[in-house]
Amino acid sequence: MLSLMLIIAIMVPVLAFAATAGFSTAKYEYGNVTGSVYSDVYAVGAGDSVYVYVYSGGSIVTSTTATYDTYSDGKYYYNFNASAIGYNTLDLVTKVTYNNTVSDLATLTVNRVITGNNSNGGGGGGGGGSSISNGAISVSSDGFVDPNTLSTALTAGDITLKLSGTVALLPASSLVGNGSKTITVTNDFGTYVLPVSVFKLEALAKALNIEVKDLKIKVTIAKADSTTSDAVKAAATAVGGTQLADAVDFNVVGIDKDGKTTSVDFGKTYVSRSVNVSKAVDASKTTGVLYNETTKKVSFVPATFTTVDGKNVANIKRNGNSIYTVVESNKSFADIASHWSKTDVELLANKLVVEGSTDTTFEPERNITRAEFAALAVRSLGLTSAAPASTFSDVKSDAWYASSVATATYAGIINGYEDNTFRPDAQITREELAAIVIRAMDYASISTNVTDPQSVLSKFKDSNKIVWAQKEIAAAVNAGIINGLTDDTIGSASKATRAQSATMLKRFLSTANFIN
């Protein structure tokens, strides 16, 4: 009898808690489930806990410990907050551990909502969801995209997602088999045009240690916060420019149900995104820029400018995520005032691709070194700088060009010599220059194939002096990137000047539609 009474005494608090427990509030929005549970008996002491378990389709999504908050109106309240990204309906179960015994206390079903709370006993609140209208899917502010809606839309062709907020959560299961399609994501801050082929779903799932069916692609288009925006404005001013657009963060990652992310590698695919510009611009004096949060500097990214539905728009192309804006400059140099390269040099200076030897001089006729042109090639492609590498015996890791050489080498647009040297200070020849520009075009997926190189080179009487880059020079001539020194000479062995380099890069960027 005594034993029975002790058992009953131990169980009474739990039973009382279970009998009087419930969900006071529960809300599911922006990928989070928040709320509180209550009881009129405080049954949890040291070593005991109240939990909330989150289920979807009978499988647990996540769980969290509810934290004691307050005592009010004869009840004890416990708050909870759990991440549950991209589900439509969730089942909540609150449990208590008491004296190492786990007991169910209450259950509640909640639907994904945009605003408002759900009371105990019931689902939903409704709101949100993704619906198709005129070929576009409207996405509510929590970013949820219904898998069936997305699959149906992609079956019909390319689609547009119109965001109410800043985030879209694309279920990977709906992307499988749609590698030829394109998803355009747009909101008030900008537009992102994403080929489905850039999402290497299996690799992303593996990186997160999940299956593809549990993977989502999180796309974010958001205005930079005030601290970052101020830093971007300061960086634009530092290069002598004026900022003409909000700083907008474009980001794409793979994400699992717990919110763990992994970066999406675009490879060599230049992905388009656009931002609104505050005024009509002179494209020769305006450029898209990337803001580097580590260096606090801005740098050139490929961008063209247009007007769409009365709005001035910058179309930015790059194979990576970052914060972007638009900068206007008006640069010139005294020593190019009457030089044949004046227009090209000024344009590329305003694009932040080339720099002067000083603030007032460019030295257009000075020969350019291999290291200098490697830096220009990397800059013109808008590449993310790689860490200095020990690839070449004569490139020291602390040299100003070490990162540029490593980046250009990694991208396959520049090579060293057979003796494992790069010869960074050697003056570059027109032959080498042409080859590097053609490799840059290949990197940007611009066709440079020439069926019969000799027929292209036949008009140059010195074409037999080309040492190794016959195909590359023929391709450069065919694409209008390089001209002869005269009508019948190519001058492949001649040392290239800074003016020639700038002009060839300008032609490359125009051919690639990286500038206008």
188 Cβ contact list (under 8 Å, min separation 6)? none
**Token pair of 108, please?**
């509640």
Residue 395 and residue 405 in contact, taking contact as beta carbons nearer than 8 Å: yes
Q: Which domain holds residue 487?
A: 334-511
Q: What is the pLDDT of residue 16?
A: 38
Residues 257 and 345 in one domain: no
Residue whose token pair is 């609104």: 276
Distance, CA of 130 to chain centre: 23
CATH number for the domain harbouring residue 21: 2.60.40.2440
Q: What is the pLDDT of residue 514?
A: 97
Residues 231 and 347 in one domain: no
Measured CA to CA, the distance from residue 438 to residue 441 in angstroms comes to 5
Task: For the chain, 516 residues long, give each residue's pLDDT as a single digit of tens.
Answer: 444 443 434 444 444 344 467 888 998 876 788 999 887 765 555 567 888 889 887 888 888 888 888 888 888 889 999 887 777 788 898 887 766 666 767 888 888 765 433 333 333 333 345 567 667 999 988 898 988 889 989 998 999 999 999 999 999 999 999 999 999 999 999 999 999 999 999 999 999 999 999 999 999 999 999 999 999 999 999 999 999 999 999 999 999 988 899 999 999 999 999 999 999 999 999 999 999 999 999 999 999 999 988 899 999 999 999 999 999 999 999 999 999 999 999 999 999 999 999 999 999 999 999 999 999 999 999 998 888 887 899 999 999 999 999 999 999 999 999 999 999 999 999 999 999 999 999 999 999 989 999 999 999 999 999 999 999 999 999 999 999 999 999 999 999 999 999 999 999 999 999 999
Residues 316 and 341 in one domain: no
Last residue of a domain, one of 328, 358, 389: 328
Measured CA to CA, the distance from residue 172 to residue 197 in angstroms comes to 12
DSSP lists the bridge partners of residue 254 as 217, 262
Residue 328 and residue 240 in contact, taking contact as beta carbons nearer than 8 Å: no
Residues 84 and 147 in one domain: no
DSSP 448: -
Residues 266 and 362 in one domain: no
Torsion angle in degrees (nearest 10) through CA of 127, 131, 137, 141:
10
Which amino acid is located at 207 in the chain?
A: A
The answer to whether residue 41 sits within a structural domain is: yes
Residues 316 and 340 in one domain: no
Residues 387 and 497 in one domain: yes
Q: What is the pLDDT of residue 384?
A: 87
Q: What is the pLDDT of residue 414?
A: 92
DSSP lists the bridge partners of residue 313 as 276, 306
DSSP 417: -
Indicate if the alpha-carbon torsion angle 469, 471, 476, 477 is positive or negative. positive
* N residues, the chain: 516
DSSP 425: T
pTM of the model: 0.80
